[in-house]
Structure 1
């Protein structure tokens, strides 16, 4: 039976899409019908509005039960792994205590020596709150919002998270975005052109990690 074609909206990724249809994210991402999408996007967490995802039809699993009795079924919420790299300027925040509130869940931990943070959150959650108690700082995380690095909005989001772009991502290569690109190019010691070319994209991907 053919699957359903889902048109990706802003803020969606494979995990949130799969959760809407009640499927594990790997079932959707690894479906043969999505081979072209995997080749194009590489990462299930980074999609662009307008991408098309084929959602396979779920396969019911038989659950033998005895009639005339009450039965209890437990539905497990799928989780996805979230990776963040925390920095102050360009320096990693090593061994920094953190808290993440995601729905009813509260997670705690400490960053690694390179400032990385790793946590598992429910796949159907689109937002979370990150707190750095020692610094008294709070950040709102928009899970699945990151667009591909070869898009202007994807560049703007990454530059904003690096503290180089103050405006909200618009998808338009305006003066503020050009200035942010130039600032990044100077910091990375590459040709300062203000153009979002392949060299700049590669450098941004390396610094940002995605």
Structure 2
């Protein structure tokens, strides 16, 4: 059994694939990873420095008649990528044709009524970009980083989610700043009715709301 220290951009299906496991749950459900599983909850949202135990692989034996051809198929895991696009006034960018490029693969998609696209991508994907075909949309293409979202408990996790939601445009560096505080306060103004909860502090209630609105 080996130990693996998580790096930025890692997520469990990718780590599992790199270590020869078709199913990431073999690692995630191992008793030695129970503490990390309880802490992080989502195997796709890990934090640099997290320690994973990688179990030894178990040999599987399949029987088959001699002097015959046998075909064995190993199904590789995939990830479901979901992204919702909205305008600055929180309206969905619905029914728009776009092109998703991920690790050299190209997918032609259309946003649904909620502005969402869904696409299965390779479990080792690292980056991509999305191009809207409508010339009236103000941005030409959007970069996508896969596996770079930090847990909501981390400052960098707040920054990334607030950035994706259009509240924060500073660096994702895990550092507190007045600019970040103002972004948190603006988010609270939009989602908390009680003015006493609008304090610019990203405590547990704000983290929970931010995670819910962001989707993960």
Give the TM bin, normalised by the shorter chain. Answer: 0.7 to 0.9
Q: How does 1:55-134 map to 2 (within 5 A)?
A: 55-62=54-61, 77-89=76-88, 90-134=90-134
**1:148 maps to which residue?**
151
Q: Secondary structure at the match of 2:43?
A: coil
> Normalising by the residue count of structure 2, what TM-score does the alignment of the two structures yield?
0.84
Q: Secondary structure at the match of 2:98?
A: strand
Within 1, Cα distance between the matches of 2:116 and 2:57?
35
CA displacement at 1:158 relative to structure 2: 0.5
CA displacement at 1:28 relative to structure 2: 2.0
CA displacement at 1:59 relative to structure 2: 2.3
**Which deviates more, 109-118 or 179-188?**
109-118
CA displacement at 1:62 relative to structure 2: 4.3
Within 1, Cα distance between the matches of 2:160 and 2:41?
18
Q: Structure 1 residues 174 and 111 mapped into 2: Cα distance closer, same or farther (>3 Å)? A: same
Count of matched residue pairs: 208
**1:198 maps to which residue?**
204
Within 1, Cα distance between the matches of 2:115 and 2:30?
34
Q: Structure 1 residues 102 and 66 mapped into 2: Cα distance closer, same or farther (>3 Å)? A: farther
CA displacement at 1:88 relative to structure 2: 1.4
**2:175 maps to which residue?**
172
**2:49 maps to which residue?**
50
CA displacement at 1:115 relative to structure 2: 2.2
**2:18 maps to which residue?**
20
Moved over 4 A (4+): 62-67, 71-77
Q: For the aligned residues, what is the CA RMSD?
A: 2.5
CA displacement at 1:170 relative to structure 2: 0.8
CA displacement at 1:66 relative to structure 2: 10
**1:160 maps to which residue?**
163
